[in-house]
């Protein structure tokens, strides 16, 4: 039996092991093999500032051949902030995106003011998209795009979103029904997390207040991972988390509170006591200081009364192991 007579499933299994250059050569050998090789060649695409001419060629192909664009499952474009591109490039990008309706993963890091490239997708739906990370703030273009991504699980938007950059923008409650992880500003989080099943929240800008904690706790499921910056006093802030997010498993907090003097032993003991109220918590970090812990006799954990200055300095190995857990490494 010749190669082109094999079932498509076997061809897929064989071809996906080949180098892209070999796939290109193979696609030119036979008319029946060509579509199988082409589908695999365009399944995962990555565009960068290093190959500008190749980038344009790929975008033109995806713009002019919608059937080809529908083969794409993951698409990533990362351009340097200093890159100067003509509007024609972004127009091709916009049309190409609107054609890639079978996307599962989309990473788009370009000029933050170019969020209008998502607008060309107004007639397209993206029912399979599960991951979106972008350099765009949560503006009207992004919100309209999100309304067409019912399968989205993981969302990252630009950290610059503020009340001034996204005035009076409301994300319809029907949008993002499956969202489980959010990364962005504290302001954008308040517009996205409440009413959605978000379990993991990573805030890379903004001040998370105790009122904000209460707002984010309106996720329809338990928040188990939280990373944020706050100007509040650490102990009252932890107590607020205990009340609003008692199921936290991993917690990383950076405090910008202006202490009048260096924290003393009492401060550390208060932190440890507050942590014990979070019975599911496995790992905690405060402004780069890691707290060690070990399982309690009955339930929860016993926390050290001071942070770990050096992982290797602890006499009790059980205090160290937690920070090599999947939660800690995945953050």
Residue 84: the pLDDT is 65
Distances in Å between the Cα of 303 and the Cα atoms of 271, 289, 322 are: 9, 13, 11
Q: Can you state the angle between helices 52-64 and 87-99, rounded to 10 degrees?
A: 50
Nearest to 288 by CA among 253, 319, 326: 253
Residue 263: the pLDDT is 79
Q: Which secondary structure element, helix H or strand E, spans residue 301, and what is its range?
A: strand 301-308
What is the bridge-based pairing of β-strands 289-295 and 301-308? antiparallel
Residue 249: the pLDDT is 96
Residue 331: the pLDDT is 39
DSSP one-letter string for 88-112? HHHHHHHHHHHH-TT-SEEEEES-G
Residue 262: the pLDDT is 79
What is the bridge-based pairing of β-strands 283-286 and 289-295? antiparallel
CB 229 within 8 A of CB 208: yes
pTM as predicted: 0.83
**Mean pLDDT (10-residue bins), the chain, 331 residues:** 62 67 70 74 85 72 92 92 75 93 96 88 84 93 93 90 58 93 94 96 94 96 97 94 96 90 86 92 92 82 78 41 42 39
Per DSSP, the three-state class of 245 is coil
Residue 258: the pLDDT is 86
Nearest to 232 by CA among 203, 202, 254: 254
């Amino acid at each position: 039996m010749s190669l082109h007579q094999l079932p498509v499933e076997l061809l897929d299994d064989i071809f996906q092991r080949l180098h892209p250059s070999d796939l290109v050569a193979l696609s030119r050998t036979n008319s029946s093999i060509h579509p199988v090789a082409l589908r695999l060649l365009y399944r995962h695409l990555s565009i960068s500032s290093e190959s500008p001419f190749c980038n344009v060629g790929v975008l033109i192909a995806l713009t002019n051949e919608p059937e080809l664009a529908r083969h794409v499952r993951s698409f990533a474009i990362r351009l340097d902030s200093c890159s100067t591109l003509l509007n024609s490039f972004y127009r091709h990008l916009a049309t190409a995106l609107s054609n890639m309706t079978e996307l599962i993963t989309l990473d788009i890091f370009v000029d933050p003011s170019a969020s209008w490239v998502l607008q060309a997708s107004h007639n397209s739906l993206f029912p399979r998209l599960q991951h979106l990370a972008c350099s765009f703030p949560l503006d009207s273009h992004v919100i309209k795009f999100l309304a067409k991504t019912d399968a989205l699980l993981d969302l990252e938007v630009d950290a610059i979103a503020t009340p001034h950059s996204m005035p009076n923008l409301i994300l319809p409650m029907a949008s993002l029904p499956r969202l489980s992880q959010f990364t962005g500003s504290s302001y954008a989080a308040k517009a996205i997390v409440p009413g959605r099943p978000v379990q993991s929240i990573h805030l890379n800008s903004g001040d998370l207040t105790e009122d904000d904690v209460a707002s984010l706790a309106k996720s329809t499921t338990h928040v188990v991972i939280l990373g944020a910056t706050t100007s509040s006093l650490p102990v009252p802030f932890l107590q607020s988390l205990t009340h609003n997010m008692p199921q936290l498993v991993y917690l990383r907090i950076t405090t910008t509170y202006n202490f009048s003097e260096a924290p003393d032993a009492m401060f550390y003991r208060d932190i440890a006591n507050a942590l014990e109220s979070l019975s599911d918590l496995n790992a905690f970090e405060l402004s780069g200081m890691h707290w060690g812990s070990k399982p309690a006799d009955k339930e929860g954990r016993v926390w050290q009364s001071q942070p770990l200055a050096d992982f290797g300095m602890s006499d009790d190995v059980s205090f160290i192991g937690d920070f090599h857990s999947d939660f800690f490494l995945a953050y």
